[in-house]
Structure 1
Amino acid sequence: MQVELNGRVALVTGAAGAIGRAIARRLSDNGASVVVADINREGAEAYAATLPGAMAATIDISSRDSAEAGVAETIARYGRIDILVNNAGVNSFVHRVNIDTFPLEEWERITRIDLDGLYLMSHAALQPMVRQGEGGRIINIASVVGLAAMRLQSPFVAAKAGIIHMTRSMALELGPQGILTNAIAPGSIMTEGTRSLFYGADGKFAGRTAEFMQHLPLGRPGTPEEIAEAVLFLSSPGAGYINGQVLAVDGGWTAGYMM
């Protein structure tokens, strides 16, 4: 898919990770000036160097000061911000336990980054976007577990469900100003984290992968590039009447049960 994003400035959080890198690449390939934002400064700088006209920004989305400083860097460099992709997030790859034994500090870490961080980043980026008076796009990366809960990861499920309703609330509030807010709910995507859990030979749950794949109509995990294509579509002029929606990119996971 090719769209016209020349003159647009896109800030992508978590852009040193697999999905974030793919998103940044697709937006850049279609003409956007991209801010490769990540808490991992070295990773952000290395990837930004591969994209024409891109810049790296060190942003810890769980910190208000860091979020605001990253947006200020963006404005100082490009003079505007048109697209915010709230992609950064975490999950627990160690604590996969029932809620009655889930560690409080891990609950707080996940919700602070995945939900509070999305608010802090949006709050910072929306101020200049609103002042521009030319509309914009907010794309929140949620998860299928925000639509259909899974066990043993209660804070991640709660945060992603919160993102979905926050997306709808933002759409109602910001739509009159021409700022469209939508969410993408990825299914099982082949990233470093899912590989370590499911898809590597020594993955913690590798023995259950074949069984899990039988419940997916497409029978395979998705790729970061497939999430990036969805982001590109929602960023495009052709998506100008889409607001407050959740696009599941999940191979049919949430369509129902394979029997």
Structure 2
Amino acid sequence: MKLQGKTALITGAGSGIGAATARQMAAEGANVAVTGIPAAGVEAVAAELTAAGHPALAIPTDVSDAGQVEAAVARTVERFGRLDILVPNAGIQLHDLDVDLHQLPAEVWDRTHAVNYRGVFLTVKYGLAQFLRQGDGGVIVIVSSVTALNGASANPAYMTGKTGLLGLNRHIAVHYAKHGVRCNAVCPGALERTPSHERHPDPTGRAAQLIQRIPLGRLGRPEDIAPFITFLAGPDASYATGACFVIDGGLTVT
């Protein structure tokens, strides 16, 4: 129970990595604010945690909307008294529309960055403000992607947004350490279900191609990523900040 008494706010927590992290952190004793859209997903995860005896709160939140993000932080603090852990995880990947850069519609670029980049900025902005009000630090774990580590992705809007998060991670680590704030990033590899998986034009072909390139011989699952996020949020990672942790089955070293 290494997160006993801590309060975590997780975005994009209605499914995937966010939901798996909510379950993992709740099992470690944390109060969990489950945020994101659609509402049905976050409400289902919060209800599951509550039924299992874990303190949880569902807050449907569009992370691209500053007012909604600010309100989510305020509701979390109103319910649980404080905020200790922030996991900006919400993301989209418009596979079929996020095409070659010279053909990329500006609205696809804008829509992707509104969630994946602006959404993280807003989440850390209001989370950091709460940490500073409390005066005793906090932990941020940003969910980036292995696409941020090279130029191989065919989705330039998605890749550039995830790349920018690594710079944001370093900035927070350097400039907020004096306030007792730690910040790290995780870079998940190819998962069985991508963000916006239903939009992928050939999910079966994608899986077959990637599995051949992954030394561990399988695609990842949210449950492979959540323990790393939970570890980085806890006391055993107290000397880790500004780092990027790759969890990809060996994909990026091939």
- The whole-number CA distance in structure 1 between the counterparts of 2:110 and 2:198 is 23
- Give the residue type in structure 2 aligned to 1:82: D
Structure 2 gaps, min length 5: none
- For normalisation by structure 1, the TM-score amounts to 0.92
1:99-145 residue CA offsets vs partner (Å, 9 max, x unmatched): 11111101100011101110111111111111212211000000000
Identity %: 36
Q: 1:242 aligns with which of 233, 240, 243?
A: 240
Q: 1:233 to 1:99 in 2, by over 3 A?
A: same
- The whole-number CA distance in structure 2 between the counterparts of 1:151 and 1:99 is 11
1:62-118 residue CA offsets vs partner (Å, 9 max, x unmatched): 011011011110111111000000010111132242111111101100011101110
Q: Contact 2:98–2:158 at 8 Å: present in 1 too?
A: no
Partner of 2:218: 220
Q: 1:116 aligns with which of 107, 115, 118?
A: 118
- Give the residue type in structure 2 aligned to 1:108: D
- For normalisation by structure 2, the TM-score amounts to 0.94
Structure 1 gaps, min length 5: none
Q: 1:177 to 1:97 in 2, by over 3 A?
A: same
- The whole-number CA distance in structure 2 between the counterparts of 1:87 and 1:193 is 11
Q: CA RMSD in A?
A: 1.6
Q: Does 1:83 align with 2:85?
A: yes
- The whole-number CA distance in structure 2 between the counterparts of 1:178 and 1:90 is 31
- The whole-number CA distance in structure 2 between the counterparts of 1:182 and 1:208 is 29
Q: Contact 1:196–1:204 at 8 Å: present in 2 too?
A: no
Length, aligned pairs only: 250
Q: Contact 1:87–1:141 at 8 Å: present in 2 too?
A: yes
Q: CA shift at 1:206, angstroms?
A: 2.1
- The whole-number CA distance in structure 2 between the counterparts of 1:193 and 1:47 is 18
Q: Contact 2:141–2:232 at 8 Å: present in 1 too?
A: yes
- Give the residue type in structure 1 aligned to 2:95: F
- The whole-number CA distance in structure 2 between the counterparts of 1:196 and 1:220 is 20
Q: Contact 1:197–1:206 at 8 Å: present in 2 too?
A: no
Pairwise mapping of residues 129-168 of structure 1 onto structure 2 (< 5 A)? 129-168=131-170
- Give the residue type in structure 1 aligned to 2:140: I
Q: 1:195 to 1:101 in 2, by over 3 A?
A: closer
- The whole-number CA distance in structure 1 between the counterparts of 2:106 and 2:197 is 26
